[in-house]
Structure 1
Amino acid sequence: MARKYKRLRYEDRQVIEEMSRAGSRVVDIATTLGVHRDTIYKEYARCGATPDTYSAEKAQETL
């Protein structure tokens, strides 16, 4: 049975950072990565960042 979630990889976090800085909406980022929008919101919350301050490198370090 397949898992219902997809774990974010560093490459995914780089996409989140790039698209966030470009002003993309959370829904668009989630669609690009093939995850639910809540996954992106949870990723921001997990590392205490906003779309403007999100850093893939810092997010990866907080795992």
Structure 2
Amino acid sequence: MDFRNENFLGLRTADAMVRVFGRNAFGDRVGLTVHDFSLDSASPEERAARAEENTSAFTEWLAQIYA
């Protein structure tokens, strides 16, 4: 964790930054952004596949948290 307050969580890994925005405090949805730096030299196909994997994994994670 590299930053945290009541409406924001910042996580950092060896090759990514994950940002969770708690906009629900303002009546909006929770937002999530993944900056996956391991893809810098990847092909477009690899990027698309990883984006799909990230989307699926984080969608499941958020569904569990907000079930």
Q: Which has the larger radius of gyration?
A: 2
TM-score (norm 2): 0.26
TM-score (norm 1): 0.27
Larger fraction in strand: 2
